[in-house]
Structure 1
Amino acid sequence: MAAASAAPFTFNGAVGSRVKETKTLISEVCRQFYHLGWESGTGGSITIKVHDDSIPKPHQLIVMPPSGVQKERMMEEDMHVLSPDGFLLSESSPKSWPNKPPKCSDYGPLFLKAECYRYLFDAAIKLYQLGLNRSTPSHGPIRSPNAVLGRHRNAKVSAKAGTRSPNNGTEPSRRCIVLDIEGTTTPISFVTDVLFPYARDSVGKHLELTYDTAETQDDIKLLRAQVEEDLENGVAGAVSIPTDGEKEEIIATVVTNVEAMIKADRKITSLKQLQGHIWRTGFQGNELETVVFNDVPEALEKWHSLGIKVYIYSSGSRLAQRLLFGNTNYGDLRKYLCGFFDTTVGNKKETKSYIEITESLGVDNPSEILFVTDVYQEATAAKAAGLEVIISIRPGNGPLPDNHGFRTITSFSEI
């Protein structure tokens, strides 16, 4: 797509009204698709041309949603408006810190050629009418549509779960599974003995090499704000990060704070964001490879085939989570995952965090979500929010209280 124009384009009169209607339509469709389970989290996208019978379709304006915004939370002001040839006329409104507008959908180039793919959409509709989707077991050649429809003539289609159940049956109550990482999908030792030391040992070098980038400056700004709060609260190891000091001084104080935070195993966004950026370098350079328990890939594949949506909730940043599951000893497992939650939704030991996740996933009842963790306090918080909870017992995990009252497993094969 072309670069944005120097000044925002203003839409007035009938054109402005149609643009507004299209923006509203996209935000509503995104919410509906999300709650139907047809889109997940920030995945997927919808783009619509501004309808005007007086203008040929190839010359109609295009309204495109932003990238990285939860589907169920999209608003009219989040939309981008493009010219027919992909020139950005009006961008999304800036969000709260870091006060930057979300970028245009990564699917933009595809949508600009969407007319070429219209037949795929028609085919998808026909497959849905036949009761077939990506989770349908291998069915062989279809000789007659009636042969397919006949088997399910008395069946009820559930758009919510993407499953089919007889009239006298019930849908599976579990629609989503939310997984912790450390001690659940991945050995604690990998995090404590590999990831944390790598970040600690590399932070100075990383800051030195990337200091002048906007990303690293944002990282330092976020850490500075956290340190100021820590100093007010008397947190041990906190050292003030100067705002206008020399580069070497700023880097040195950041390193001191990061080392103290890692040693204390702080679960804070500022640390996790920087760690994610450092780990990205390690994964890209093949210096790091995530270890997952051997039962994890098979379970993820099974749940995926059953149409159960799987999400990750970790104190690590969403970037770090994507890196971890994209570079495992079993290959890239992200194809089985629908989304990632981090501490931006809240602390993992607080009930309100799981309420926020429940609202984001769009389930009718919190009990439709299974949360698997190795931490008793997280399990308690999730249970208080109404989620089904299982505690993972893995080698190296910490002890649980006596009579904790939760179901436990030693392998995902037990779920």
Structure 2
Amino acid sequence: MNYQNIQFSLFFLCEDQFVLVTNSWCSNWNFAIAMSANGVQDVFHKAKVILLDIEGTTTPIDFVTKTLFPYVSENIASYLEANWSSEEIQHVINELRKQAECDTEEGLKNVPMIKSFVDSKDDALPDVVANVHWQMSLNRKTTSLKKLQGFMWKDAYESGLIKGVVYDDVIPVLEKLKIKGKRIYIYSSGSVQAQKLLFGHLENGNLLPLLDGHFDTTTGSKKQSNSYLKIAKKVIVDPGEVLFLTDVEYEADAAREAGFHVFIVVRPGNKPLANADQYITIETFKDLVAQ
């Protein structure tokens, strides 16, 4: 847990804790940072719902960048060749085509366009491959791209070519959270299908029975506070009853704007954050259940 490098400016005694107030009165706990070793536990006990990011939070970033993404890049052409005529693939190709048109209209440069269905597979397939490679090179998280990636990962997981990975502390702590009556949800830019595949095909077990639900970009962008409000409404709790764990600062900012409690998760290999000192940080999920 990190309570250092806090910019001291103004403190009030609130709920038996010294609190640093950032543009808000201490009664609004979501916009304050606890200044005691009990800060994590205080927030944890108030939360009815634990909302988890995946990449860099439950799962090493390297698993995504060195296993999942390369699998798609290296196998997209052969996958499309084998599955081109399927209805779900034709549907996602149409979504990719529409996304490319929107990208062009919005002024993005060098967008690989995709020919219409009236063209032959030999003409259109290379367009789809080029568009997927282009989007992945920019680390884009469009729903159409994530959906196609999810289809490919499904085949890889079910055939045993890929096994999911989570940090060692994740399963034991989530088991304890369930015993404590917490509801646990996932919110990731990866599709719900991809989330379930990852957690259902782990090297060391199956995480799915511990999860109460999943959210992806069909709910909204993780950069927008309204997306988090939608999640709170969906799981039928007040925003202040949700604790969101993420390693991404803009996600933390958006969730906090929505009224969520937020912890920044600092894992090996995660990118340093410019304003991590504005949040409580944890290095392991074990901090959530520490006595």
- Category of TM-score, reference length = shorter chain: 0.7 to 0.9
1:242 and 2:108 are equivalent in the alignment: no
Tell me the equivalent position of 2:126.
Answer: 252
Distance in structure 2 (CA, Å) of the matches to 1:274 and 1:340: 18
Give how far 1:324 is off.
Answer: 0.5
TM-score when normalising by structure 1: 0.58
Distance in 2 between residues matched to 1:349 and 1:269, nearest whole Å: 14
Determine whether 1:394 maps to 2:255. no
User: Structure 1 unaligned runs (5+)?
Assistant: 1-171
Q: Matched residue pairs, number?
A: 244
Which residue, 380, 400, 403 being the options, matches 2:253?
380
In the alignment, is the contact (CA less than 8 A) between 2:264 and 2:280 conserved in 1? yes
Where does the alignment leave 5 or more consecutive residues of structure 2 unmatched?
1-44
Does the 8 Å CA contact 2:245/2:263 hold for their aligned counterparts? yes
Within 5 Å, give how 1:242-391 maps onto structure 2: 242-243=115-116, 244-363=118-237, 365-391=238-264
Counterpart of 2:100 (choices 212, 218, 227) is 227
Superposed CA offset, 1:390-410 (max 9, x none): 000001101111464100000
Given residue 251 of structure 2, which amino acid in structure 1 is its aligned partner?
A: E
Tell me what 1:215 maps to.
88
List per-residue Cα deviations over 1:164-220 (Å, max 9, x = no partner): xxxxxxxx5211101000000001011011100101111111111111111101110
Match of 1:182 among 50, 55, 59: 55
Q: Quote the Cα distance in structure 1 between the aligned partners of 2:194 and 2:276.
A: 34
Counterpart Cα distance in 1 of 2:276 and 2:51? 24
Which residue identity does 1:313 align to in structure 2?
Answer: Y
Report the structure number with the largest CA radius of gyration.
1
SS at match of 1:343: coil
Question: Are the structure 2 counterparts of residues 261 and 351 from structure 1 closer, same or farther at C-alpha, using a change threshold of 3 Å?
Answer: same
Q: Distance in 2 between matches of 1:414 and 1:314?
A: 22
Percent identical: 44
Alpha-carbon distance in structure 2 between the residues aligned to 1:295 and 1:400: 22
**Conserved 8 A contact 2:249-2:276:** no
Distance 1:295-1:199 versus aligned 2 partners, 3 A rule: same
1:197 and 2:85 aligned:
no
Return the alpha-carbon distance in structure 1 between the equivalents of residues 148 and 110 of structure 2: 18
- RCO comparison, higher one (Cα < 8 Å, 6+): 2
Rounded to whole Å, the distance in 2 between the matches of 1:411 and 1:403 is 16
Cα separation, 1, equivalents of 2:243 and 2:61 = 21
How far residue 237 of structure 1 moved from its aligned partner, in angstroms, is 4.0
Superposition pairs of residues 139-154 of structure 1, within 5 angstroms: none
One-letter amino acid matched to 2:177: W
Checking the alignment, whether the CA contact within 8 Å between 1:184 and 1:372 is kept in structure 2 is: yes
- 1:156 corresponds in structure 2 to none
Change (3 A) 1:402 1:312: closer
Partners of 1:400 and 1:190 in 2: how far apart?
Answer: 20
Deviations 1:96-131 (A, max 9, x none): xxxxxxxxxxxxxxxxxxxxxxxxxxxxxxxxxxxx
8 Å CA contact 1:231–1:239 kept in 2: the answer is no
CA contact (8 A) 2:187 2:214 kept: yes
